[in-house]
Amino acid sequence: MDNFLHLFFNLEIMVRHFYPVMEGFWLTVLMAGAIVVLGLPLGLLLAFVRAFQIRPVNALIVFSVDLLRAVPPLVIIYLFYFALPYAGVTLGSIPATVLTLTLVLAAFSEEIYWAAITSLPRGQWEAARSTGLTFGQTLVFVIILQGIRRAVPMLTNRTIAVTKGTALGSTVAVQEILNQALSAQSLSANPSPLTLGALLYLVIFAPMVVGSRWVERRFGWSH
């Protein structure tokens, strides 16, 4: 037991490397926030555009969404970070990671929004149009609002799953929690910094899980 505590819960080593790992913590928080703020609205915008049934546009949306959902995010990060410079576009490690996870979240959320929108009874459209609303007004004021409520449970789960992918940024030298914890582990020859990193991930994502439950109860379709 003493060996286990010395290896994984060495408080002296945790305190020694606390500030560098905390720098990674704040960067992870900022990245996760940016991914959510950008990804969810982009997914809604794509679902909104798709509702107008413009065939070439819809084909492009469906292809892009399916591609982003099928390809592992780590591969996309590598392509943005290592391949784009050969095309004359250079992205730093943080922008490459945030852009990748934003697009992945947008792709998944678009499908969730779209499923929610198309699950509404056709009578909702017909009733709204019979009052004199245009197609666009019906979509914005009647269909989208109901669709969002139906999408809430799936959106919250997918958002948590995608934002945890910030740890993938460590592979392209993003100084987030995992990267800092791994560096501290190498310097100290002790895995306790990884334990500290795991605890900090809990600090970020445990409230997100609890908050998602509250959002589902407060704004979910059952209400």
- pLDDT one-digit tens code per residue, 155-175: 888 898 899 899 999 999 899
CA–CA separation, 106 and 67 (whole Å): 12
Torsion angle of the four alpha carbons 43, 109, 159, 191, in this order, in degrees rounded to the nearest 10: -90
CA–CA separation, 143 and 158 (whole Å): 22
Number of structural domains (the chain) is 1
CA–CA separation, 172 and 64 (whole Å): 24
Is residue 2 one of the residues assigned to a domain? no
Tokens of 177: 């929690």
- pLDDT 10s digits, 1-53: 777 887 788 889 999 999 999 999 999 999 999 999 999 999 999 999 999 99
N- to C-terminal Cα separation, the chain: 50
Give the residue carrying structure tokens 């107008």.
Answer: 52
Is residue 10 one of the residues assigned to a domain? no
Within 13 A of 107's CA, how many CA atoms are on the CB side? 21
Is residue 187 one of the residues assigned to a domain? yes
CA–CA separation, 158 and 181 (whole Å): 26
Is residue 3 one of the residues assigned to a domain? no
Is residue 1 one of the residues assigned to a domain? no
Can you give the CATH number for the domain in which 112 is found?
A: 1.10.3720.10
Q: What is the largest CA-CA distance in the chain?
A: 75
pTM: 0.90
Over residues 103-112, the mean pLDDT reads: 96
- Structural domain including 53 reads 18-219
Is residue 39 one of the residues assigned to a domain? yes
Is residue 139 one of the residues assigned to a domain? yes
88 has pLDDT over 80: yes
Comparing C-alpha atoms, which of 156, 58, 52 is closest to residue 109?
156
Is residue 202 one of the residues assigned to a domain? yes
- Taking residue 201's Cβ as centre, other Cβ atoms within 10 Å add up to 19
Helices and strands, counts by H and E, the chain: 11, 0
96 has pLDDT over 90: yes
